[in-house]
A and B are shown apart, each in its own frame.
Chain A
């Protein structure tokens, strides 16, 4: 009976252990994922292991928690809740959201990307599975048991060759370690991380643009800045500025004008010669002074 069990376990280890490792994570439509973050809290806590069952996307409904491939990320899986769902012919369109996230996920999900519906959630088990994937975990759960089994079998072969009787406890040791190794391989193969993706958003609101077709026309009060640069000696630089500005200047001027006029008039050299003893009379012509002053 013991031999039958032992042979049975060997077959399981060789066939299923290797097959599960290589096929990668599919057991009859069921898959396991470790939830790596808290976007689905409190319904699914960080470190939980979710068991997902493959279902027809047409049978999903709003509120279901699903695991799906993240759009544009081939090997990344997300576990979120269906917020909205529509079925058009054979195509299911889903919007998803993490319970703990404020915003819905920034993608529209096609039903084909759904891996399955979350059926069970086991808190904390994911921590153990992730630890088992570390180098320490691999050493503890796979390499050491494998080494012990191989060591015991080698000892067994030596004993058989020397025609010694087997140790009574040997068979049970081998069986238990074989089972442990099988479980380890199965665990590693069947469960993989699923990011219960955390997200948050911030908004820049109401950006308002007024569109005009040209700058406001130049006005007489505007400054005109003209810069000529890079011109060398002897260069000819011409700047033309057209300004259609009308300027009205009102001036009030107070002017004080003092006009000083000296006018000397002479009638000529009038002489009386050799007029002894007699009265002489000289009649001169008129003297006219024409003075004109114009202050404008």
Chain B
């Protein structure tokens, strides 16, 4: 009988310990862990609009302008998360960089702004040469069905001493978040 009682006590202890360990390991009290287990069945769709108004599309024609050494050209663009249930974090990458002006002499800054061009996030600044590696634009992320406007500042180094030109495109990638 004693053995049987000990066996029962072991079962109680073992089951209790296992249940406790199991619930603790998977974070029963961690609401973040639980809430993160969300399935996304939709399709990712990111679109762009060149300017503060206008239609969105998968691709937008860039701008053509002149620039003096030491001067900054400012342009506003908008990105739209056209997905139904997928939130995006945004990364930008310079592509097709060409021209006689060295990419190291050009600085590009993206600042997330609201509709009144007031910053709503931190600017991300680096030289054009470094933008050829995808770089996150930080918060705010773009929630499903929402738009986000960005101010794009292009500054030419004052050390440039010869006339020339430079051309680049930007590829914006929205990646599911979280």
List A residues at the B interface (Cβ < 8 Å).
3, 6-7, 10, 13-14, 17-18, 21-22, 24, 34, 36-39, 46-47, 76, 100-101, 103, 106-107, 126-127, 130, 133-135, 138, 142-143, 146, 149-150, 153-154, 156-157, 160-161, 163, 174, 178, 181-182, 184-185, 188-189, 193, 195, 197-215
Contacts and interface: CB of A to CB of B under 8 A. Distances in A.
B21 A174 contact: no
Given A200-B88, A206-B167, 15 more contacts: A18-B21, A21-B18, A21-B22, A37-B40, A106-B175, A130-B37, A135-B28, A138-B26, A143-B23, A146-B18, A200-B45, A200-B46, A201-B173, A209-B73, A211-B156
A36 B39 contact: yes
A195 B36 CA distance: 10
Interface string B45-66: 1111010000001111111111
Given A106-B93, A210-B65, A37 B47 contact: no
Given A37-B39, A153-B8, A14 B18 contact: yes
Given A10-B10, A143-B19, A206 B68 contact: no
A241 B43 CA distance: 64
B17 interface: yes
**Closest 6 pairs between A and B when the two form their complex, measured CB to CB:** A207-B62, A37-B40, A106-B134, A21-B25, A202-B48, A146-B19
B165 interface: yes
B38 interface: yes
A185 B50 CA distance: 53
Nearest to B91: A106
Given A208-B62, A209-B66, A203 B167 contact: no
Interface string B30-41: 000110111111
A134 B44 CA distance: 26
B79 A202 contact: yes
A100 B44 CA distance: 9
Contacts of B22: 17, 21, 142, 184-185, 188-189
A134 B31 CA distance: 10
A108 B172 CA distance: 17
Contacts, number: 256
B118 interface: no
Main secondary structure of the interface of B (DSSP, over half): mixed
Given A143-B19, A205-B62, A211-B156, A130 B39 contact: yes
A6 B7 contact: yes
A139 to B, nearest CB: 9
B169 A205 contact: yes
B143 interface: no
Given A203-B60, A210-B67, A10 B11 contact: yes
Nearest to A37: B40
Nearest to A189: B25
B39 A211 contact: no
Contact of B19 (A76, A103, A142, A200): A142
A37 B37 CA distance: 11
Given A14-B17, A188-B22, A202 B176 contact: no
Contact of B25 (A10, A76, A156, A188): A188
Given A14-B18, A130-B37, A201-B173, A149 B11 contact: yes
B38 A36 contact: yes
Given A37-B176, A146-B19, A185-B22, A210 B59 contact: no
Interface in B128-178: 134, 154, 156, 160-176, 178
A142 B23 contact: yes
B170 A215 contact: no
A208 B165 contact: yes
B175 to A, nearest CB: 4
Nearest to A186: B22
A204 B15 contact: no
A157 B8 contact: yes
A98 to B, nearest CB: 9
B173 A188 contact: no
Nearest to A151: B12
